[in-house]
Amino acid sequence: MESTDVGHYWEGNAESWTRLSRAGHDVYRDALNTPAFLAMLPPVSGLRGLDIGCGEGTNTRRLAELGPSMQAIDIAPTFIAHARATEAEDPRGIEYQVADALDLPFAGASFDFATSFMAMMDMPDQEKALKEVRRVLRPGGFFQFSILHPCFVPPKRRNIRDAAGEPVAVEVADYFRRTDGEVESWTFSTIPEAERSGLTPFKVPRFHRTLSDWIDMIVEAGLTLEKLGEPRASAELAAREPVVADTRVAPIFLHFRVRKAA
């Protein structure tokens, strides 16, 4: 599958995704994954940053609140249109444009840092994307990105619950099977059943790679691994937002911070 094909799928998802996520249905993102990502982020105030695969811009806006000058790209025009509309209503100084992470439209050494929230695992050539990030980073710059955890969210995953409905284990399979654009259909689990019946599920191409694949790609791209994160819901958060309780059994997300040599 090529980037253009991936872009068509995400363009098809963008309108519904924007509406549903902004209505609060992306609980994993809002309650756990983004807060953990930002907690792991080094200080960025006064720096120039690039957010890759920004979607409708929610996470980019969270980054801008920390004080950097932000630019952001996404492959889906509808996502960028929504991000620009929000920026026009409530300016944060963010510049958005439609672009492909495999061919970044920026000169070399343009940014102090780059981020990507839950987009790298959906790209058909992650090593090329990493090399593009390295190209546009200034010497000493860092790239922090989050993905589905390859060990615990391989092509087959099932939560196992006890009689009370509490998550107690995770069943995984096909960890070593690379996928090159297999399309998964799903939607946010918190959407009420009455609303769910009228929705078209998201169609998301997946490009599963093992953990060792990811480390190898980082090394081949000329970047150095600096930090890993595996967000886990606290007992209090799991009680307040039961949908994220399964992350207390095994992580769903994996965060990387890698750096270009100074």
CA 44 – CA 144 distance, rounded (Å): 12
* pLDDT > 70: percent of the chain: 100
The full set of domain ranges for the chain reads: 3-260
The CATH superfamily label for domain 3-260 reads Vaccinia Virus protein VP39 (3.40.50.150)
Q: Which two tokens stand for residue 75?
A: 């492959």
Q: How much is the pTM? A: 0.96
**Segments of 101-152 assigned E as strands:** 111-117, 137-148
Which positions ≥6 away from 249 have C-beta within 8 Å? 159, 167, 168, 169, 170
For 14, which DSSP code?
H
Residue 114 has pLDDT above 90, yes or no: yes
Instruction: Give per-residue pLDDT as tens, 142-194.
Output: 999 999 999 999 999 999 999 998 999 999 999 999 999 999 999 998 898 88
Say if CB 187 and CB 196 are below 8 A apart: yes
Instruction: Give per-residue pLDDT as tens, 59-79.
Output: 999 999 999 999 999 999 999
CA 201 – CA 186 distance, rounded (Å): 5
Instruction: Give per-residue pLDDT as tens, 181-227.
Output: 999 999 998 898 888 888 899 999 999 999 999 999 999 999 999 99
Instruction: Give per-residue pLDDT as tens, 20-55.
Output: 999 999 999 999 999 999 999 999 999 999 999 999
CA 251, 187, 124, 129 torsion: positive or negative?
negative
